[in-house]
Amino acid sequence: MKVHFIPAPVRLFHWGIALLIVLNLYIFEHGKNFHQYAGYTCVGLVVMRALLGRFFYEKKFSFDRFELRISELKIFVHGLLKGNKRDFVGHNPIASYVYLLIWLLVCLLGVSGFLMKEIDYFWGNETLEEAHEIMSNGLIALVLLHFIGITQDSLSMKRKTWKRMFTGKDS
């Protein structure tokens, strides 16, 4: 069994982003200052996390390590359906797409929120508000996929995948 270590700064960014997402979705009143500043902070954390992965830890936690080839995704999904277990040092192909989409949606939510609140030209534009809401719902769906993936990996690989973001390792 491989032990995958996740350093504390990577985990801190993960939990900071996760906390801000939960606060903005379920606690802070939409359109109010706390919601707005939490969204901007979340975007800043995503950007900083991307830079951290790119320039530190020998690029081990960089987006470059994400498996984003469609051919690999097909092979991985086919293997899952057949019950084949395949371990990855980083994220598997499905997780790579889910995480990339989560981070992309967080950034797009920040941009659309900024356009709604800060740029008078877009003030009151229902299309932008609807797009913001659709992206927010998409983010919820992706977070649920994230939890399903952690559960699936924990069960199929017989390890405590969920433990990585608390202790840094899965054993």
CATH number of 8-167: 1.20.950
Give CA–CA dist 171/160, Å, rounded: 6
Q: What share of the chain is helix, strand, coil (3-state, %, to 5)?
A: 75, 0, 25
Looking at this protein, which amino acid is placed at residue 85?
K
Query: Could you report the average pLDDT of every consecutive run of 10 residues in the chain (171 residues)?
Result: 71 95 94 93 94 72 72 82 73 86 96 84 77 96 94 82 82 63
C-alpha distances (whole Å) from 149 to each of 36, 56, 162 are 30, 26, 10
Give CA–CA dist 13/42, Å, rounded: 9
**How many CA atoms are closer than 13 Å to the CA of 149, on its beta-carbon side?**
16
Token pair belonging to 12:
């801190």
Residue 76's pLDDT is 83
* Other C-beta atoms lying within 10 Å of the C-beta of residue 107: 15
Residue 3's pLDDT is 45
Residue 57's pLDDT is 64
Token pair belonging to 170:
């899965």
